[in-house]
Amino acid sequence: MDVRTYIERHRETFVAELKEWLAIPSVSSDPEHGGDVHASAEWLARHLEDVGFATVEIWQTGGLPAVFAEWPAADPDAPTVLVYGHHDVQPVDPVEEWETDPFVPVEQGERLTGRGSSDDKGQVLFHTLGVRACMAASERQRPPVTLKLLVEGEEEAGSPNLTGLLEERRDRLACDVVVVSDTTMWDADTPSMCVGLRGMTDCQIDVYGPEVDLHSGTFGGAVPNPARALAGVLAGMHDSDGRVAIPGFYDDVVEVSADERELLARLPFDEAEWLRTARSTAAAGEAGYGTLERVWVRPTAEINGMWSGHTGAGPRTIVPSSAHAKVSFRLVPDQEPARVQRRVRDYVESALPEGVRATVGFSGPGVRACSSDITSPAVRAAREAMSRAFDTEVLFTREGGSGPEAALAGILEAPLVFVAVGLDDDRIHAPNEKVEVPLLLKGAESVAYLWEDLAARSRAASMSNRLW
Amino acid sequence: MDVRTYIERHRETFVAELKEWLAIPSVSSDPEHGGDVHASAEWLARHLEDVGFATVEIWQTGGLPAVFAEWPAADPDAPTVLVYGHHDVQPVDPVEEWETDPFVPVEQGERLTGRGSSDDKGQVLFHTLGVRACMAASERQRPPVTLKLLVEGEEEAGSPNLTGLLEERRDRLACDVVVVSDTTMWDADTPSMCVGLRGMTDCQIDVYGPEVDLHSGTFGGAVPNPARALAGVLAGMHDSDGRVAIPGFYDDVVEVSADERELLARLPFDEAEWLRTARSTAAAGEAGYGTLERVWVRPTAEINGMWSGHTGAGPRTIVPSSAHAKVSFRLVPDQEPARVQRRVRDYVESALPEGVRATVGFSGPGVRACSSDITSPAVRAAREAMSRAFDTEVLFTREGGSGPEAALAGILEAPLVFVAVGLDDDRIHAPNEKVEVPLLLKGAESVAYLWEDLAARSRAASMSNRLW
């Protein structure tokens, strides 16, 4: 029985299993649902045992549990793949906007609605269907690659314990490639592979002038105004071409290759439609780059918030004593968050007038950008596998946001490949999250082909670990 | 009996009367004290009748009452003087910081403590002592000038009904000069006359970008950020010389005369001490002007407050959909608030990038600056009268704040002369407001001389109404 037939015949079981899992409200950011996150981990562990994984463990962390599973290939020289996903979900507020109960999954036609259906339980679960299809098609008793799964329980809470877990369990997690199934495709008719996420670092800038708010009649015009100083700092962060004007900001930026730009340009991007989604009347950004490039492959400095002095009703004629802003920076390869942080501090210091001082506090070490080399064998194999599953060419996308994937690649020293079938209109993080069941089945089919292909390439190269 | 002797002999009565008035808590901004403001008006009306004013009226307004009184000179050609002051007081919060009950006035040595002692009941009341001293010294039955008093009851609430009252009662208030007794001197050892107040207009700038807050990962770098647009608008309001860069802002500004600059420079100004009061580590402002000039005779644009997007704890990586600022402009002669408002609107419009729009809402029509011509006979007479009372030269000051005085001058079409003896350390608007009784007596003495002098100058000129 070929992969596709196997998957089609097991669709009903697959959906039934997913519905069972989706019924567990594993909201990681809500302490009241801590027990549910544990229950979700237990459900997954039991399911992985049922599927046949040789080792299944629930890994406790300082927070909520991750699930680890391993199923060794018969061939000791077969490559090792680590699949990353998460079993926790977003909160459901505003719950009154859901048309059905977020934790009573409902199948209507091809669509399955429920919290976590797309992000990320559906995309984790297609792996168990995929590996069974792969084995059934080749009549194997074990997968052609050594398959490891790491399904964490705190992704929607910012993965606070993931880095520690990766460092602590580095040996158990050792692999030749990391497959991430937690992103989206261009759209249902345009299958695509994500090949990069931006990094991020964010800070709060606090500017201090006179120690107290001053009457603007008595003192105005003769003392430094920290709100004006902050406006200067913020306005000076960009030049008139929309480039970030912080000295050295672009030093380590790797320009995206002409090949990738050409591939991005082939995506059926409709700027008018994009602007409607953004509810913005104009696109704006760095000169010389299109909208997709601006959100995917170019770094940014963005004011997320600011406040100073009187913000209530009516006038209050003061020189405020302080002014504050939250600013975040999206990063691209090879910007180092720590280096960007130093550049930002130096810039703020240099942009302040006499009589005001500032502190720049970053919320953490920041997250590096990550990207896949589109010329690498792993990306080529994954693209071919997806093309075969979708019966069409697969294009490349990126994501402008940031996730824990850079930590996976960095700590495990393995390349990242994104195989995912979510859609931008799946309403993840919003009411009425749904997933298209046929796309989950295509995901299963893709990885079924991918495992065979990776094993074949490895055998052909006879030196698997050098392939990636 | 000369003026000084008369005043010294009546000091005790004067202080007793003032204490009686100060005991009435006429807080105009607190509706609970509305009855007390009425009681304060009634106390003053009775007192003015006792003193001998021919006409005493309580003028009801849409809000709280003003007191009007008139005492015609015997000589029908004598000039008419209108004295402006107010009988309402500031709130007393934080009341726990008062060392004595704010409405149980306490005399300790030369100092009288109580809410309103300096601002403005003490300075209103020195006029009744002054006119009696003036008449006693010249053995007149009536004052040498026609003396009118307008003592309003809503100054500390922003004088919302003063303009209407002035327009409605313009005939009754007609005068040759307006004497304002509601400002301060340089210090107790440096008697001075205020010769100008800055005007003011203030607005809220609301900048709108995308209709909703957007995820800065998904959209950041490709849509206009209204906080960045606002920062640009605010930063662009000044050039690198600290001048207001709004086109046309200085068009109608009258440069202060070299004579007045020279006189201002003679004030014993200690910038280090001023900075300690401001609790600022540096002075800053328009190039080419000193600190006193910057706060007194130069117009300003000052950010009073701003807010946008996420202002709570921790990061939230959004492109905010709107950004807001409160900005006030201190004005000098001959800036017209309405014209400045148009300039500000035009500037904001011109400074916005594509994809953001802004509204600029002014809180009202604004207040013109006012100033006295230091070469005018009225100012010269008042300065000489004060010099005689204080036995020393009187210098000129200005105030950087704004008050209702411009409306007096504008509607009554009469020049302003400031004769006042408050001190910057009288703690007006703060706990433990006090007044120096000897200075109130000097105020009484000053106006006693001034009325005689104005009458004499008028007779000498034989054409009183042309004098001013």
Least confident interval from A1-10, A114-123, B368-377:
B368-377
Contacts of A298 in chain B (CB under 8 A): 221
Q: Which of A:390-409 have CB within 8 Å of B?
A: 399-402
First to last CA, chain A: 31
Closest to B374 in 3D by CA, of B351, B398, B350? B398
Q: What is the pLDDT of residue A464?
A: 42
Question: CA-to-CA distance for B170 and B173, rounded, in angstroms?
Answer: 5
CATH hierarchy code of domain B3-197+370-467: 3.40.630.10
Choose the closest CB to A355 out of B230, B282, B326. Answer: B282
Choose the closest CB to B310 out of A294, A305, A353. Answer: A305
The SS3 assignment for B132 reads helix
DSSP 8-state class, residue B286: S
Q: Are strands B192-197 and B370-371 parallel, antiparallel or unpaired?
A: antiparallel
Share of chain B residues as helix, strand and coil, in percent rounded to the nearest 5: 40, 20, 40
Q: What is the ipTM of this complex?
A: 0.89
CATH hierarchy code of domain B199-259+300-362: 3.30.70.360
Choose the closest CB to A217 out of B279, B354, B401. Answer: B401
- pLDDT of residue B467 exceeding 60, the answer is no
- Can you spell out the DSSP letters for A4-66? HHHHHHTHHHHHHHHHHHHTS--BTT-GGGHHHHHHHHHHHHHHHHHHT-SEEEEE--SSS-E
pLDDT range class, residue A117, cuts 50, 70, 90: very high
CB proximity B305 to A under 8 Å: yes
CB proximity B270 to A under 8 Å: no
Contacts of A238 in chain B (CB under 8 A): 228
Q: What is the pLDDT of residue B462?
A: 62
Q: Please indicate whether, in this complex, the C-beta atoms of A294 and B330 are within 8 angstroms of each other.
A: no
- Indicate the domain borders of chain A: 3-197+369-467, 199-253+299-362
Burial of B66: CB neighbours in 10 Å, binned 0-12, 13-18, 19+: buried
Question: CA-to-CA distance for A168 and A162, rounded, in angstroms?
Answer: 10
- Can you spell out the DSSP letters for B61-123? -SSS-EEEEEE--SSTTS-EEEEEEE--B----SGGG-SS-TTS-EEETTEEESTTTTTTHHH
Q: Please indicate whether, in this complex, the C-beta atoms of B217 and A227 are within 8 angstroms of each other.
A: no
CB proximity A273 to B under 8 Å: no
CB A37 within 8 A of CB A28: yes
Domain A3-197+369-467 falls under CATH 3.40.630.10: yes
Top-confidence residue, B259 or B21 = B21
Q: Please indicate whether, in this complex, the C-beta atoms of A222 and B302 are within 8 angstroms of each other.
A: no
Choose the closest CB to B363 out of A302, A314, A328. Answer: A314
Tell me the CATH number of domain A199-253+299-362, given options 3.30.70.360, 3.30.2040.10, 3.90.180.10, 3.40.50.2300.
3.30.70.360
Taking residue A98's Cβ as centre, other Cβ atoms within 10 Å add up to 19
Top-confidence residue, A435 or A94 = A435
Q: What is the pLDDT of residue A462?
A: 62
- pLDDT of residue B463 exceeding 80, the answer is no
Contacts of A299 in chain B (CB under 8 A): 221
CB B197 within 8 A of CB B402: yes
What values do phi and psi take at B177, rounded to 5?
A: -155, 145
Q: Please indicate whether, in this complex, the C-beta atoms of A304 and B310 are within 8 angstroms of each other.
A: yes
pLDDT range class, residue B422, cuts 50, 70, 90: very high
pLDDT range class, residue B347, cuts 50, 70, 90: very high
Q: Which of A:147-206 have CB within 8 Å of B?
A: 198, 200, 202
- pLDDT of residue A113 exceeding 50, the answer is yes
Q: What is the pLDDT of residue A217?
A: 87
CB proximity A412 to B under 8 Å: no
Give the mean pLDDT of A131-144.
97
Choose the closest CB to A326 out of B278, B291, B310. Answer: B310
List Cβ<8 Å contacts ≥24 apart for A255-259. Answer: A256/A293, A256/A297, A257/A374, A259/A374
The fraction of chain B above a pLDDT of 90, given in percent, is 91
Q: Which of A:3-32 have CB within 8 Å of B?
A: none
Interface probe for A, chosen from B198, B307, B330 (most Cβ of A below 10 Å), is: B307
Count of CB pairs separated by less than 8 Å, A with B: 272
Q: What is the pLDDT of residue A158?
A: 86
- pLDDT of residue A468 exceeding 80, the answer is no
Contacts of A326 in chain B (CB under 8 A): 309-311, 315-316
The SS3 assignment for A338 reads helix
Taking residue B396's Cβ as centre, other Cβ atoms within 10 Å add up to 22
Q: Give the helix/strand (H/E) hosting B349.
A: helix B337-351
Q: Which of B:321-340 have CB within 8 Å of A?
A: 323-326, 328, 330
The fraction of chain A above a pLDDT of 70, given in percent, is 99
Contacts of A310 in chain B (CB under 8 A): 304-305, 326
- Can you spell out the DSSP letters for A95-122? GGG-SS-TTS-EEETTEEESTTTTTTHH
Tens digit of each residue's pLDDT (9 = 90 or more) over A349-391 = 999 999 999 999 999 999 999 999 999 999 999 999 999 999 9
CA dihedral B379, B381, B383, B388 (to 10 degrees): -170
- A229/chain B closest Cα distance in angstroms: 8
Question: CA-to-CA distance for A256 and B115, rounded, in angstroms?
Answer: 70
Q: Where are the alpha helices (DSSP H) in A203-319?
A: 226-235, 258-265, 271-278, 291-296
Query: Nearest residue of B to residue A290 by CA position?
Result: B222
Query: Nearest residue of B to residue A301 by CA position?
Result: B221
Q: Please indicate whether, in this complex, the C-beta atoms of A283 and B223 are within 8 angstroms of each other.
A: yes
CB proximity B264 to A under 8 Å: no
CB B189 within 8 A of CB A271: no
CB proximity B313 to A under 8 Å: no
- pLDDT of residue A235 exceeding 80, the answer is yes
- pLDDT of residue B252 exceeding 70, the answer is yes
Q: What is the pLDDT of residue B245?
A: 98
Q: Which residues contact B198 (CB under 8 A, 6 or more apart)?
A: A217, B296, B299, B330, B331, B332, B369, B398, B399, B400, B401, B402
Tens digit of each residue's pLDDT (9 = 90 or more) over A158-211 = 899 999 999 999 999 999 999 999 999 999 999 999 999 999 999 999 999 999
